[in-house]
Chains A and B, each alone.
Chain A
Amino acid sequence: MNTVELKNFCTEVRRDIINMTANAGSGHPGGSLSVVEMMSAIFCTQMRVDPKNPRDPDRDRFVLSKGHTAPCYYGVLSELGFFGKEEFTTFRQVHGMLQGHPDMKKIPGVDASTGSLGQGASIAVGMALGAKHLGKDTRVFTILGDGECQEGQVWEAFMAANHYKLDNLTVVVDNNGLQIDGSNDEVMSLGDMAAKLRAFGFHTVEVADGNDIESVLAALSEPTEPGKPKAILSHTVKGKGVSFMENQVGWHGKAPNEEQRSQALKELEG
Chain B
Amino acid sequence: MSEKATRAAYGEALVELGQVNEKVVVLDADLAAATMTVTFKKAFPQRHYDMGIAEANMVNVAAGMSTMGLIPFCSTFAMFGAGRAYEQVRNSVAYPHLNVKLAMTHAGVSVGEDGASHQCIEDIALMRAIPGMTVICPADAKEARRAVFAAAEMEGPVYLRLARLATPVFEEEQPFEIGKANVLREGGDVAVFATGLMVSEALEAAKLLEAQGVRAAVINVHTIKPIDAACVTEYAKKCGRVVTVEEHSVIGGLGDAVADVLMGKVHCAFRKIGVQDRFGQSGKAKEVLREYGLTAPQIAESIKAVL
Contact = CB atoms under 8 A, between A and B. Distances in A.
Interface of A: 57, 61, 63, 103-105, 111-116, 118-119, 122-131, 133-134, 136, 138, 152-153, 156-157, 159-160, 163-164
B57 A153 contact: yes
A26 B92 CA distance: 24
B61 A160 contact: yes
Interface of B: 25, 47, 49, 51-52, 54, 56-57, 59-70, 87-88, 91-92, 95-97
Contacts of A126: 60-68
A115 B90 CA distance: 12
Nearest to B49: A129
B64 A127 contact: yes
Interface of chain B, helix or strand or loop or mixed?
helix
A130 B65 contact: yes
Contact of B64 (A112, A136, A159): A112
A246 B65 CA distance: 38
B69 A134 contact: yes
Contacts of A153: 54, 56-57, 60, 88
Contact of A127 (B49, B52, B68): B68
Contacts of B67: 61, 104, 111-112, 123, 126-127, 130
Contact of A113 (B52, B56, B61, B95): B95
Contacts of A163: 52
For the complex of A and B, list the 3 residue pairs with the smallest distance between their C-beta atoms, beginning with the closest.
A126-B64, A130-B68, A122-B60
Contacts of B56: 118-119, 122, 152-153, 156
Nearest to B91: A116
Contacts of B25: 133
B52 A119 contact: no
B60 A119 contact: yes
B91 A119 contact: yes
B52 A160 contact: yes
Contacts of B49: 129, 164
Contacts of A159: 52, 54, 57
B61 A129 contact: yes
B69 A105 contact: no
A115 B64 contact: no
Contacts of B63: 112, 122-123, 126
For B52, B57, B62, B70, the residue with the greatest tally of chain A CB atoms inside 10 Å of its CB is B57
A116 B87 CA distance: 9
A122 B61 contact: yes
For A103, A112, A126, A152, the residue with the greatest tally of chain B CB atoms inside 10 Å of its CB is A126
Given A122-B61, A129-B65, 8 more contacts: A119-B88, A123-B60, A126-B61, A126-B66, A133-B47, A153-B88, A156-B52, A160-B52
Contact of A125 (B61, B88, B95): B61
B57 A113 contact: no
A266 to B, nearest CB: 38
A160 B68 contact: no
Nearest to B60: A122
A159 B30 CA distance: 14
